[in-house]
Amino acid sequence: MNEIILADPIPEMFFQMSENRFRVLPLDSAGTSSNSDVNSDVVAIVTYAHPLIDGRLLDRFPAVRVISNHGVGVDHIDVAAARQRGIPVGNTPGCLDAATADMTMALLLAVARNVVIGDHFARGPLFTHFDPAILIGQEVTGNTLGIVGMGGVGAEVARRARGFDMKIVYHNRRRRTDVEGSLAATWCSFPDLLQQSDFVSLNCPLTPETHGLMGLDQFRLMKHSGILINMARGPVVRTDALYQALTEKIIAAAALDVTDPEPLPRDHPLLQLENLVIAPHLGSASGRTRARMMEMTIRNLVAGIEGTALPWPVN
């Protein structure tokens, strides 16, 4: 009999790579299910698209042995509640750093050089002749990039920025002397980073300390020509403050891979702004990276079910 796990909608890749070992109970039915026999058979939880996993849900499934998260960020999982119940939590660190850094630079370049607006204009009826005076963007080469969160992704962003001869400053909860040496990055306080940087890249995890990190006061510290890139989590940026900063030209532009809420309501005013580029959470969305993430998710899942140490535990 296949082992029963709880999961939000999960792609066919999971079943192929796990050789159809598992029977999946939809996570969205967990809150309404009163079938204690089925609930007691669920041995694991897989989180694919950041569903909320808290103590109340875990108490409905007393046989759960492991929570395996497809991704690095576990802000949607109450890790402390899982730990109190003796349930290990696994994630997929490292494998998505390069792809997420690629996307960071893609958004930075797209917003700096008006790629999205330019694409729309080039397809429209008004583009009838070349005009060198339109859509003048910001230089990337030689400008200052401030990286907030110098973990695996942040370091990969810095490595790419070196290829553009950018001056790199960073802020992190602990200094990274290895990065300072190998990538010529300079640590500075968060306010100093905001004041110095032409581009501010958020590559930090969502924690109580980083929730609402970018508010109106922080936007006012940035240059009027400054550009914000958010590759972290939506709630790291206060949405109302971002809208005010963009509409009042407190900063020049922004590019977001994540929003708060996510997705934004279809009538949200941010969606009407031309000085904003938004992607639908594509940070790790490359074929090779997603396959590796799924492999790690399954290995954590199997280890937890079999009672062995998780290859990639969340400590």
Per annotation, catalytic residue among 70, 238, 281, 290: 281
What is the widest separation between alpha-carbon atoms in the chain?
A: 70
158 close to 179: Cβ distance less than 8 angstroms: yes
Q: Is 70 a catalytic residue?
A: no
Count, in order, helices (H) and strands (E) of the chain: 12, 12
CA distance 262 to 235: 10
Residues in CB range of 5: below 8 A, 6 or more apart: 22, 23, 24, 25, 42, 43, 44, 45, 46, 301
Q: Is 171 a catalytic residue?
A: no
Per annotation, catalytic residue among 50, 233, 238, 290: 233
Report the length, in residues, of the chain.
315
Q: Name the token pair of 208.
A: 């109580």
User: How distant, in Å, are the alpha carbons of 117, 122, 126, 134, 239 from that of 130?
Assistant: 15, 10, 11, 9, 37
Q: Is 262 a catalytic residue?
A: yes
Per annotation, catalytic residue among 211, 262, 292, 295: 262
Tell me: cis bond preceding 191? Omega within 30 of 0 counts.
no
Three-class SS of 37-73? HHHCCEEEEEECCCCCECHHHHHCCCCCCEEEECCCC
CA distance 20 to 4: 11
Cα separation of the two ends of the chain? 32
CA distance 32 to 29: 5
Count of CA atoms in the C-beta half-sphere (13 A) of 287 = 0
Q: Across the strands, what pairs with 53?
A: 77
Which residues form the catalytic set?
233, 262, 281
